[in-house]
Amino acid sequence: MNIHSNLIGGNIAVDRIENDTVYLERELRDTEGDWFYWAFCVEGAAGRTLTFVFPSKHRVGRFGAAVSHDLREWHWSESGSGDTFTYTFAEGEDKVYFAHNMLYHPAHFDAFCARVGLKQEVFCRSVKGRDLPAVRFGTGKRWILLTARHHACEATGNYVLEGVTETLLSRLPEDFAVLVVPFVDYDGVVDGDQGKNRRPHDHNRDYTDAPIYEVVEKMMTFGREHDLCYTFDFHSPWHMGKQNDYVFFSRSTEAMEPRIDLFAEYMKQATAAGELKYTGAWDVGPNEAWNNETSPNSKNYFSKQPSVRLSITTETPYFGVTDGSGKISQDAMRALGRVFGHCILQYPAQDGTV
């Protein structure tokens, strides 16, 4: 049996294996403080039932591990939560991927772009010299900026972003254009870093006078040089519990509140019949809890630009709940994104800016 992290987004340290129990832990790497992301592959365990045990109860989600055989399609193991999960490998089931949550890799975005006919560009180089992808479309001068993975491990945001992009692509008014930067911390996504609370600071604390990440500097410059109207930044919250189990907005400045209220109303109505619901009940307002207006993050930076009408961070849970607000699946997240896209298209006429 071989347990390893030799995969895109891989992250695991195996401590020891005792009979059918595997003791393991996530790797923090350059993360300050605790975080919970892990992803690994098990080969050569066909026919066995293994129990995986972490040293913290904040490692395994509500529905067990995310499981995949191809790194594309993911489902829940439905066996365990907290610090442990169990998996029975069928005869012939020789290679299985397990992760904290349903991973979204560059290969997912490649497949999406191929399906809808979008051509990717190299937005800039990552810190490690990789080509950092983006797409742009539309003929207008009023820009919508869509971003995800300011925090490398937060894959749920990418599924929503994909759905948003699909809707905008199909119905974008001719006076608009869209820039999508799906993997802001691209190295972290590929290498399987936590990304959150990276030292000296992570990508979503880099919107300063002297950004250290080229991708952030380029987006800041883009914002200054274009008529940027709307920015939506897609994240995943903390591991789980309370608001972390629901879709919610992390709001921007006090000045933007009336416009975000309006957009939130659309979202409430539009998602009410969907699998994943946004109710507004869990939103974190400006200067509530950790959401400090002066924090140098993406939404705060763009919300202070005069041209920007809406700047919102959307948090999509890793697991969700079965209380009617929605359990996470790849399809449910993409569907939420498509509805989100319709709300973006609905918004300008009501805002009085058209």
In angstroms, the CA 349 to CA 146 distance is: 20
198 or 235: CB nearest Zn ion? 235
In angstroms, the CA 216 to CA 312 distance is: 17
Binders of Zn ion: how many residues, by CB under 5 A?
Answer: 3
Shortest reach from residue 154's CB to Zn ion, in Å: 5
Residue among 143, 138, 120, 221 nearest 174 (CA): 138
Shortest reach from residue 124's CB to Zn ion, in Å: 21
Distances (CA, A) of 238 to 11, 49, 115, 246, 343: 18, 30, 32, 11, 26
In angstroms, the CA 42 to CA 46 distance is: 10
24 or 153: CB nearest Zn ion? 153
149 or 309: CB nearest Zn ion? 149
Q: Which residues contact 100 (CB under 8 A, 6 or more apart)?
A: 26, 36, 37, 38, 39, 59, 60, 61, 65, 66, 153, 318
6 or 294: CB nearest Zn ion? 294
Distances (CA, A) of 34 to 161, 198, 290: 27, 11, 16
Shortest reach from residue 228's CB to Zn ion, in Å: 21
Per-residue x/- track, 235-264, Zn ion (CB under 5 A): x-----------------------------
Shortest reach from residue 278's CB to Zn ion, in Å: 17
In angstroms, the CA 204 to CA 186 distance is: 13
Alpha helices by DSSP H, 36-155:
106-116
11 or 84: CB nearest Zn ion? 11
Q: Does 338 bind Zn ion (CB under 5 A)?
A: no
Which residue in this structure is represented by tokens 């940027």? 228
Shortest reach from residue 292's CB to Zn ion, in Å: 15
176 or 232: CB nearest Zn ion? 232
36 or 266: CB nearest Zn ion? 36
Per-residue x/- track, 124-163, Zn ion (CB under 5 A): ---------------------------x--x---------
198 or 309: CB nearest Zn ion? 198
- Of 180-239, which residues contact Zn ion (CB under 5 A)? 235
In order, the DSSP letters of 186-205 are: HHHHHHT---TTBSS--GGG
Shortest reach from residue 329's CB to Zn ion, in Å: 21
Could you count the other beta carbons within 10 Å of the beta carbon of residue 131? 13
Shortest reach from residue 121's CB to Zn ion, in Å: 24
318 or 347: CB nearest Zn ion? 318
In angstroms, the CA 231 to CA 352 distance is: 18
- Of 19-78, which residues contact Zn ion (CB under 5 A)? none
DSSP reduced 3-state for 5: coil
Beta partners for 68?
A: 97
Beta partners for 284?
A: 250
Shortest reach from residue 30's CB to Zn ion, in Å: 16
Residues of the shown chain interacting with Zn ion in the complex, contacts defined by CB under 5 A: 151, 154, 235
